[in-house]
Amino acid sequence: MALVSADTKIAELLTELHQLIKQTQEERSRSEHNLLNIQKTHERMQTENKSQSTCPTSPYYRTKLRGLYTTAKADAEAECSILRHALDKIAEIKSLLEERRIAARMAGVYNDSDPPRKTMRRGVLMTLLQQSAMTLPLWIGKPGESPPPLCGAIPASSDYVAKQGDKVAARVKGVDGDEQWILAEVVSYSHSTNKYEVDDIDEEGKERHTLSRRRIIPLPQWKANPETDPEALFSKDQLVLALYPQTTCFYRALIHTPPHRPQDDYSVLFEDTSYADGYSPPLNVAQRYVVACKETKKK
Amino acid sequence: MYLMVGWFLTNCVCNEHYLTMLCELDRKELPMPATQSLSFILERFKLPELNTAILRTGAHRAGMAEPAAQASTQARLQQGPSGGSASSGPNTGSGSGSSDPARPGLSQQQWASQKKAQVRAFPRAKKLEKLGVFSACKANDSCKCNGWKNPHPPTATRMELQQQTANLSEACRSCGHALAEHVSHLENVSEEEINRLLGMVVDVENLFMSVHKEEDTDTKQVYFYLFKLLRKCILQMGKPVVEGSLGSPPFEKPNIEQGVLNFVQYKFSHLAPKERQTMYELSKMFLLCLNYWKLETPSQFRQRAQKEDASAYKVDYTRWLCYCHVPQSNDSLPRYETCQVFGRSLLKSIFTVTRRQLLEKFRVEKDKLPPEKRTLILTHFPKFLSMLEEEIYGENSPIWDADFTMPASEGAQLVPQTVLSPVAVSGSPLRKGQAGSALDTVVSEPITGEKRKLPEALTLEDAKRIRVMGDIPMELVNEVMMTITDPAAMLGPETSLLSANAARDETARLEERRGIIEFHVIGNSLSQKSNKKILMWLVGLQNVFSHQLPRMPKEYITRLVFDPKHKTLALIKDGRVIGGICFRMFPTQGFTEIVFCAVTSNEQVKGYGTHLMNHLKEYHIKHGILYFLTYADEYAIGYFKKQGFSKDIKVPKSRYLGYIKDYEGATLMECELNPRIPYTELSHIIKRQKEIIKKLIERKQSQIRKVYPGLTCFKEGVRQIPVESIPGIRETGWKPSAKEKNKELKDPDLLYNILKNLLAQIKTHPDAWPFMEPVKKSEAPDYYEIIRFPIDLKTMTERLKNRYYVTKKLFIADLQRVITNCREYNPPDSEYCKCANTLEKFFYFKLKESGLIDK
Asked if residue B610 belongs to a known ligand binding site, the reply is: yes
Q: Which amino acid is at B266?
A: Y
A175 domain-assigned:
yes
A254 domain-assigned:
yes
The CATH number of whichever domain residue A264 belongs to comes to: 2.30.30.140
Lowest mean pLDDT among A12-26, B116-130, B704-718: B704-718
Give dist(CA B339, CA B290) in Å, integer: 7
Please report, for residues B393, B511, B575, B808, the alpha-carbon distance to residue B336 in angstroms, rounded to integers and kept in the order given.
25, 41, 37, 78
B469 domain-assigned:
no
Quick one: A170 and A211 in the same domain?
Answer: yes
Give dist(CA B105, CA A106) in Å, integer: 72
The CATH number of whichever domain residue B557 belongs to comes to: 3.40.630.30
pLDDT for B245 equals 74
Residue B555, pLDDT above cutoff 80: yes
Quick one: A79 and A1 in the same domain?
Answer: yes
Quick one: B299 and B375 in the same domain?
Answer: yes
User: What domain count does chain B have?
Assistant: 5
Q: Which residues in chain B touch residue A203, judged by CB atoms under 8 angstroms apart?
A: none
B1 domain-assigned:
no
User: What domain count does chain A have?
Assistant: 3
Q: Cβ–Cβ of B499/A283 closer than 8 Å?
A: no
A63 domain-assigned:
yes
- Residue where a domain terminates, one of A191, A218, A245: A218
A38 domain-assigned:
yes
pLDDT tens digit sequence for B31-64: 333 333 333 333 333 333 333 333 333 333 333 3
pLDDT for B71 equals 34
DSSP string, B221-276: HHHHHHHHHHHHHHHHT------STT--S--SSSBHHHHHHHHHHHHHTTS-HHHH
Nearest Cα residue to B38 out of B121, B110, B107, B125: B107
DSSP string, chain A: -HHHHHHHHHHHHHHHHHHHHHHHHHHHHHHHHHHHHHHHHHHHHHHHHHHTTT-SS-HHHHHHHHHHHHHHHHHHHHHHHHHHHHHHHHHHHHHHHHHHHHHHHHHHHH-SSSPPPPPPPHHHHHHHHHHHHHTSPBP-PPTTPPPPTTBTTPPPPTT--PPTT-EEEEEEE-TTS-EEEEEEEEEEEETTTTEEEEEES-STT--EEEEEGGGEEEPPSBB--TTT-GGGSPPTT-EEEEEPTTSSEEEEEEEEE--SSTTPPEEEEEB-TTSTTSBPPPEEE-GGGEEE--SPP--
Quick one: A171 and A207 in the same domain?
Answer: yes
Give dist(CA B677, CA B413) in Å, integer: 14
Interface residues of B toward A, Cβ cutoff 8 Å, are 494, 497-502, 504, 507, 547, 550, 601-607
Residue B563, pLDDT above cutoff 60: yes
Q: Are B210 and B219 in contact (CB under 8 A)?
A: no
Number of residues that make up chain A: 299
B564 domain-assigned:
yes
A179 domain-assigned:
yes
Give dist(CA B343, CA B296) in Å, integer: 17
Read off the pLDDT of each residue in B133-141 and give the average, rounded to a whole number: 78
Quick one: A103 and A1 in the same domain?
Answer: yes
Quick one: A210 and A240 in the same domain?
Answer: no
Number of residues that make up chain B: 855
Does the ipTM exceed 0.85?
no
Give dist(CA B474, CA B464) in Å, integer: 13
Q: Which residues in chain A touch residue B497, judged by CB atoms under 8 angstroms apart?
A: 124, 127
Q: Which long-range contacts (CB under 8 A, 24 or more apart) does B378-385 make?
A: B378/B515, B379/B513, B379/B514, B379/B515, B380/B278, B380/B279, B380/B282, B380/B420, B381/B282, B381/B285, B382/B515, B383/B420, B383/B422, B383/B515, B383/B518, B384/B279, B384/B282, B384/B283, B384/B286, B384/B420, B385/B286, B385/B355, B385/B358, B385/B359
Q: Cβ–Cβ of A124/B607 closer than 8 Å?
A: no
Residue B437, pLDDT above cutoff 70: no
Quick one: A103 and A191 in the same domain?
Answer: no
Asked if residue B2 belongs to a known ligand binding site, the reply is: no
Give dist(CA B77, CA B104) in Å, integer: 8
Interface residues of A toward B, Cβ cutoff 8 Å, are 118, 120-124, 126-128, 131, 244-246, 274, 283
Q: Cβ–Cβ of A121/B604 closer than 8 Å?
A: no
pLDDT for B542 equals 95
Report the residue from B494, B504, B547 with minimal CB separation from A123: B504
* % of chain B exceeding 70 in pLDDT: 73
Quick one: B178 and B277 in the same domain?
Answer: no
**What is the band of B750 on the pLDDT scale with cuts at 50, 70, 90?**
confident
Residue of B nearest to A118 (CA): B500
pLDDT for A279 equals 93
Quick one: B710 and B582 in the same domain?
Answer: no
Quick one: A187 and A235 in the same domain?
Answer: no
- Residue where a domain terminates, one of B190, B206, B236: B236
B505 domain-assigned:
no
B334 CB neighbour count, 10 Å cutoff: 14
Is there a cis peptide before residue B250, judged by omega within 30 degrees of 0?
A: yes
Residue B298, pLDDT above cutoff 90: no
DSSP string, B4-22: HHHHHHHHHHTT-HHHHHH
Report the residue from B494, B497, B604 with minimal CB separation from A246: B604
pLDDT for B559 equals 95
Q: Are B135 and B173 in contact (CB under 8 A)?
A: no
**What is the band of B409 on the pLDDT scale with cuts at 50, 70, 90?**
very low
Quick one: B313 and B386 in the same domain?
Answer: yes
Would you give the DSSP letter of residue B167?
P
B461 domain-assigned:
no
Quick one: A27 and A93 in the same domain?
Answer: yes
pLDDT for A82 equals 93
Quick one: B761 and B657 in the same domain?
Answer: no
Domain that includes residue B840, residue range: 741-850
Choice between B87 and B802, residue whose per-residue pLDDT is larger: B802
Lowest mean pLDDT among A249-253, B36-40, B528-532: B36-40
Q: Are A298 and A159 in contact (CB under 8 A)?
A: no
Active site residue B593: yes
Quick one: A181 and A271 in the same domain?
Answer: no
DSSP string, A55-85: -SS-HHHHHHHHHHHHHHHHHHHHHHHHHHH
Helix (H, G, I), strand (E, B) or coil at B670: strand
A133 domain-assigned:
no
Quick one: B706 and B659 in the same domain?
Answer: no
Q: Which residues contact A296 (CB under 8 A, 6 or more apart)?
A: none
Domain that includes residue A23, residue range: 1-52+59-107
pLDDT for A24 equals 92
Quick one: B348 and B232 in the same domain?
Answer: no
pLDDT for B792 equals 92
Phi and psi, residue B479, nearest 5° = -60, -45
Largest CA distance in chain A: 89
Quick one: B544 and B628 in the same domain?
Answer: yes
Q: Cβ–Cβ of B602/A118 closer than 8 Å?
A: no
Torsion angle of the four alpha carbons B756, B761, B763, B766, in this order, in degrees rounded to the nearest 10 = 180
Lowest mean pLDDT among B336-345, B402-411, B718-727: B402-411
Give dist(CA A253, CA B703) in Å, integer: 62
B46 domain-assigned:
no
Lowest mean pLDDT among A70-74, A90-94, B115-119, B636-640: B115-119
Quick one: A242 and A288 in the same domain?
Answer: yes
Quick one: A17 and A102 in the same domain?
Answer: yes
- Residue where a domain terminates, one of B378, B393, B408: B393
Quick one: B724 and B770 in the same domain?
Answer: no
B651 domain-assigned:
yes
| Angle, in degrees to the nearest 10, between helices B474-483 and B682-704 | 100
Give CA B325 to chain center in angstroms. Answer: 30
Q: Which residues in chain A touch residue B602, judged by CB atoms under 8 angstroms apart?
A: 244-246, 283
Q: Which residues in chain B touch residue A245, judged by CB atoms under 8 angstroms apart?
A: 601-603
Nearest Cα residue to A243 out of A129, A128, A124: A129
Read off the pLDDT of each residue in B368-384 and give the average, rounded to a whole number: 77
Q: Which residues in chain A touch residue B605, judged by CB atoms under 8 angstroms apart?
A: 122-123, 126, 246
Q: Model pTM greater than 0.80?
A: no
B271 domain-assigned:
yes
What helix, strand, coil percent values describe chain B, rounded to 5? 55, 5, 40
Would you give the DSSP letter of residue B34?
G
Give dist(CA B86, CA B84) in Å, integer: 5
Helix (H, G, I), strand (E, B) or coil at B502: coil
Q: Give the number of C-alpha atoms closer than 13 A to the C-alpha of residue B794, restricted to the C-beta side.
A: 8
Average pLDDT, chain B: 74
Quick one: B597 and B700 in the same domain?
Answer: no
Quick one: B586 and B641 in the same domain?
Answer: yes
Residue A117, pLDDT above cutoff 90: no
Asked if residue B606 belongs to a known ligand binding site, the reply is: yes
Quick one: B290 and B361 in the same domain?
Answer: yes
- Residue where a domain terminates, one of B658, B677, B696: B677
Give dist(CA B19, CA B108) in Å, integer: 6
Q: Cβ–Cβ of B497/A124 closer than 8 Å?
A: yes
Paired residues of B672 in beta bridges: B627
pLDDT tens digit sequence for B689-746: 888 888 888 888 888 778 888 887 777 766 667 777 788 887 777 776 655 445 555 6
- Residue where a domain terminates, one of A71, A88, A107: A107
**What is the band of B779 on the pLDDT scale with cuts at 50, 70, 90?**
confident
pLDDT tens digit sequence for B659-678: 998 888 889 999 999 999 99
Asked if residue B609 belongs to a known ligand binding site, the reply is: yes
Give dist(CA B86, CA B98) in Å, integer: 10
